[in-house]
Structure 1
């Protein structure tokens, strides 16, 4: 890989992957709706070029890169992180979510037209959850997650891209994420807010979902994506994470122990026996390690040790 294209370049994962690529002397075309997308990076060997573009226009990418004089190079990898709900990643109506299926398919077609050798698509562990539900639960209960439109659209985007990758003769690598985290926990979501409250010794709403999650340091996620671009195999479906899933109450319990909070999670260190559809095997990174040589550098336990108590 000598060049890369990254959609969703300003997001948590996209921006971290861009930096990792630049650190490894990969020239990157950063695509997004905002401008400027990526500030000039000093002391990094790779070069970032910004292209302001809405995903609705991604089929015009070949013309756009011609206008700015960006050259894909000999081995260009296309990373697709762009995804949009109504106000957040997973919300909105079915129509809001399904637009992303078309955008993902068009991104793959554009990648092939401009000569990219590999298309790396960012999916979600919610796909696995939905598939397991469809296998054995749909006749007996409603879908137990509020992210049904998001999960269905991610599944549709994945399957459409698998087919188009085959028809257009471009390597397609699928990936799934659970919860990548910024160690400063500055996000607006429930998990970041709860951990900030724990560290401050404040009350927070206890988690009610017993499902397994995999909180993974964003730098490890970025390293994994760099390796997938370099060594990921055609038609692979990699879970990118630590490979050590826990219930959210367990993660919070670890943070509480560090913070010496008065409130504690009773099941913080007990095995997960009520994990519903997902099991530890669904978070396995064995194939990722085998194909790319990925090595996890930061576990959640490591992060807990580094937490600054206010």
Structure 2
């Protein structure tokens, strides 16, 4: 790849992706609402464009006419906090994703790559639930966006990949996911509360995930959806106990102190064999090793 577009450029994942891309000599058009104190500032290979991405179709003239190898769509509002459960916010995310795909087609981008999530699989548990958590709305929105993007891209003839991300962790991650929540609680000498934590789960270190993301942009994909995980799923409580052990705060990990949310994951949901067959081995960081890196960085 020589030149790409990345949305959500100020976010935890996209900003790290841009850094990796430019280290490979790839030019990036970075799109975000604001770039104040952005890590992309001052990078000669990055052109920052400020815009409301929900209106990207009306502001397409701001994007330079050029030959783009890939369009990485990472922008998504409401990944944590109250907006995660807000259906209006999540509907706008779906609309934004559709508009980005259309813009990619108009610009003749070779491939559209969209950030999905393992939370999409929670939708399979929805019929069996009497109540749903706020995170379910987020998963439903991502799942809906995936179906609409697949339909649209096949309709307009746009090569695309839906990248279904596992649970990501790494330095500077303040998204409130399980790892960042647990570390923050333990660093503050607070108890970290969890449900039974008896289900299979998976975490992937950010550098491993981004290695796969870049390779998917470079290669000829055989499928339209790939799960990107560590390839070594475990029972959730084992991960939590590892964090407690590394921080010497095992007593603050309170497993079983919250009710089961009813969402069921199975080991096959974390299968990475299709992806490995396509791009080769990409995950190298063991969970304990990754946690040590995060703690040393903090």
Q: C-alpha displacement at 1:98, in angstroms? A: 0.5
SS in 1 for 2:58: helix
Q: Which residue of 2 aligns with 1:271?
A: none
Q: C-alpha displacement at 1:212, in angstroms? A: 3.8
Q: Which residue of 1 aligns with 2:287?
A: 300
Q: Separation in 2 of the partners of 1:187 and 1:145? A: 17
User: Pick from 88, 92, 101: which aligns with 1:99?
Assistant: 92
Q: Separation in 1 of the partners of 2:188 and 2:80? A: 30
Contact 1:195 1:252 in 2 (8 A): no
Q: Which residue of 1 aligns with 2:54?
A: 56
User: 1:111-260 counterparts in 2 under 5 A?
Assistant: 111-130=104-123, 132-133=124-125, 138=127, 140-142=128-130, 144-183=132-171, 191-198=179-186, 200=187, 202-208=189-195, 210=197, 211-231=199-219, 233=221, 235-260=223-248
Query: How many residue pairs get matched?
Result: 289
Q: C-alpha displacement at 1:252, in angstroms? A: 2.2
Output one character per residue of 1:207-259: Cα deviation in whole Å (capped at 9) or x when no partner: 11534432221111211111111115164211112122334432221122233
Q: Which residue of 2 aligns with 1:34?
A: 34
Q: Separation in 2 of the partners of 1:88 and 1:264? A: 23
Structure 1: 5+ residue runs without aligned partners?
Answer: 268-273
Output one character per residue of 1:69-94: Cα deviation in whole Å (capped at 9) or x when no partner: x3432x52000111112974962421
SS in 2 for 1:59: coil
Q: Separation in 2 of the partners of 1:147 and 1:262? A: 27
Q: Separation in 1 of the partners of 2:297 and 2:28? A: 38
How much is the aligned-residue C-alpha RMSD, in angstroms? 2.9
Q: Separation in 2 of the partners of 1:218 and 1:248? A: 19
Contact 1:172 1:234 in 2 (8 A): no
Tell whether 2:70 aligns with 1:110: no
SS in 1 for 2:191: coil
SS in 1 for 2:218: helix
More moved, 252-261 vs 173-182: 252-261
Contact 1:244 1:280 in 2 (8 A): no
Give the TM-score of the pair, scaled to structure 1. Answer: 0.82
Give the TM-score of the pair, scaled to structure 2. Answer: 0.85
Distance change (3 Å), C-alpha of 1:153 and 1:187: closer
Q: C-alpha displacement at 1:26, in angstroms? A: 1.0
Q: Separation in 2 of the partners of 1:23 and 1:193? A: 30
Q: Which residue of 1 aligns with 2:20?
A: 20
